[in-house]
Structure 1
Amino acid sequence: MAWMALLAAGAFEMAGVAMINKWHNERNWLSFLLMLGGFGFSFFFLSIAMETLPMGTAYAIWTGIGASGGAIIGMLFYNEAKDWKRIVFIAMVLGSAVGLKMVS
């Protein structure tokens, strides 16, 4: 259950990051509330995951999901660069998160 909460926290972190861009472009209440909601739910699910998982592992995986997911969302929806070097480093971040799970 803790790992599912951590994945949900990472997904909401990605949504919050995407909403930062939406808020930056549109400056309306809906964008602002969606951004707050994304980060709020992210912290909520992270706190649930940290009841069971070690803090260092949970935080590292949560930030890895958020950083990688934010970069992927940027490439897919906001025309950010899609060169092979970015993809290699995103894969390295995700590989590190999997490695932490394997040794935890």
Structure 2
Amino acid sequence: MLVKPWLFLLAAIAAEISGVTTMKLVSDSGSWEALLFMYAMIGLSFYFLATTMQYLPMALTYATWETIGLIAIAFIGFRFFGEQVSTLKLVGMGVLLVGVMLVNLGVPHQVEES
């Protein structure tokens, strides 16, 4: 297993989380600096996501990026913005995690390094 694509994927997830969290802050404040930072982070996230897809299958990359990002954003919303996490939301996130694991199991594990 190659480590490099997973590091790119983690960078994409971190940038996405930063961008989406900033999006929430921008919606409350309307700061132009925060808006520019948000766009930069979302753009950086897509750059790292595209770079990851050079090494890993698109379905695995996107499913992992979206699921981990969603779970992190749900936690941030709960912890810092007072958003509720219901039982149904938790079950939904669990189903997404199982889906990512199944997608991962369905991917041939002989990914060649470019």
TM-score range, shorter chain: 0.7 to 0.9
Alignment of 1:1-104 (within 5 A): 1-104=4-107
Shift of the alpha carbon at 1:100? 2.0
Structure 2 unmatched runs, 5+: 108-114
Larger-Rg structure: 2
Compared CA separation, residues 101 and 63, structure 1 to 2 (3 A): same
Relative to its length, the structure with more helix (as a share) is 1
Distance 2:95 2:75 in 1: 13
Aligned residues: 104
Amino acid aligned to 2:31:
N
Shift of the alpha carbon at 1:45? 0.6
Amino acid aligned to 2:56:
L
Structure 1 unmatched runs, 5+: none
Q: Compute the RMSD of aligned alpha carbons.
A: 1.6
Identity of matched residues, %: 32
Name the SS of the counterpart of 1:44 in structure 2.
helix
